[in-house]
Structure 1
Amino acid sequence: MSGVDFSPRVALASLSGAADAAWARAASEYAGCAFLGGLSLDGPTREAARALVARDRDEFLPEDPVAFVDAQLTAADDLPMTLGVNVRTTTLAPLRDVARVCDDHDALLEVNAHCRQDEMCAAGAGETLLRDTDQLCEQVAAASEAGATVSVKVRAEVEGVDLPALARRLDDAGASVLHVDAMDSEWTVSDIVEAFDGFVVANNGVRDRATVREYLAHGADAVSVGRPSDDPRVLSRVREAADDWFAERADGENEGGPRATR
């Protein structure tokens, strides 16, 4: 596994237009990692974001996305958690700029290969990148070479996409984290864990003890919470379940028994 780690093993998944430093601070008691964003970086993705806003979706559209990332990470630098920034782009120059800012703040840069909104996919970003492996790997390599520790947010159940095979390519390109929206195919996490040498965060429907334990039993290193990330009741349940799981694994190891995680 990569050197990426955080505690508790609960992440907050980015929510476009909502996941900023204040959002991370409000939930920092319950999570060990927070992905700010998503943030559109270049002309095509920013135009797509404007179209999304026009149909009443929330999006971050700062005048200067790079300065926005720097300001948000600065505002959250004192938090006792790992920070990340989820970004969407079709070009490499702004990606490299944000990667350098993330490196300065010891934050993860998360390449968004997950958004399935029509406007973003038509621009060539988000889920479209799952089918354009070369371009996705090029983005990962560019961000990694600029100094950032790279996460990639991916989605299961995309027709024609072999996620374990993609995971191997992303590993070779320099990704340290895969953030997997398993959709209704929780079992796919096991296949990705087998294919990827880095840190795997499992997402989708994480709400309670049962969902946390299911993903961790499939080998995920952590879980992430999406829409309920502003609900302390959900976050408290998820953190308690994750803490209990890893405490049980540690107790088993200390007693000489097999450990059920990687």
Structure 2
Amino acid sequence: MSDTDILYEARGSIATITLNRVSRHNALTLQMLDDIERAVADVERNDEIRVLKFETASPRFFCSGADINEWSDLDPQKMGTRFIREGNRVFRRIAELDKPTIAVLSASALGGGFELALTCDFRYASTQTKVGFPEASVGAIPGWMGCSRLSELVGATRTRELILLGEPISAGTALAWGVINEAVEPDQLRSRVDTVCETLIKRSKTSLSVGKRLVRMMETGQHEYAHELAASVCKASPDAIEGVAAFREKRHASFC
């Protein structure tokens, strides 16, 4: 990493990207986006890594959004072609990563920080966390595909409520709406995420990778083709051979 705003650690099967710009509530800069992308690229290349987590070093914010000081003076063209395009490229890379990703929301995720969390496969939050899109209060909108990703999760009605009102919602409300997977007491959050990671590590890498691609293809409407492809790829894998053998031999499968 180029500085300490983004910390990256790969330990065994789990990689962790920690947002560490605590003095600015982890407000995202272009440099931070570049650092995140480099870390994600390492996760892509490293076959030992099975799960990627996003965490925060701040007790108050997972991420407060895009740094307003960085984009406020850009002209409209550069706002779209540089700042928004850059963020969308990085966030798309996270969303399309073939390994499971987890946003550990031990603190509030707003604006671009909420959009970052929405790129992940799982979102586990502290009961004290809030999430939302406050952009309307500063004359902006969620620019990093947050509108689209949120709508896929909760539908247009709830998405309008968050975007147009600009008011954050509690972890309890986010759970009820289907925005997060679980709302956990603060002192139990890390343990819960560790358990999820341990479970994912035991699963077939092939099934997880193909399953993620299957969901993406379903989102584009290619349902039948996606299922045919996914079934074919899984059937051709060593994991499928081991899984069938274990079933027939009445034992637990041992995936490579």
TM range (shorter): 0.3 to 0.5
Mark the structure with the bigger radius of gyration.
2
Normalising by structure 2, we get a TM-score of 0.34
Normalising by structure 1, we get a TM-score of 0.34
Q: Which has the higher contact order (CA 8 A, sep 6+)?
A: 1
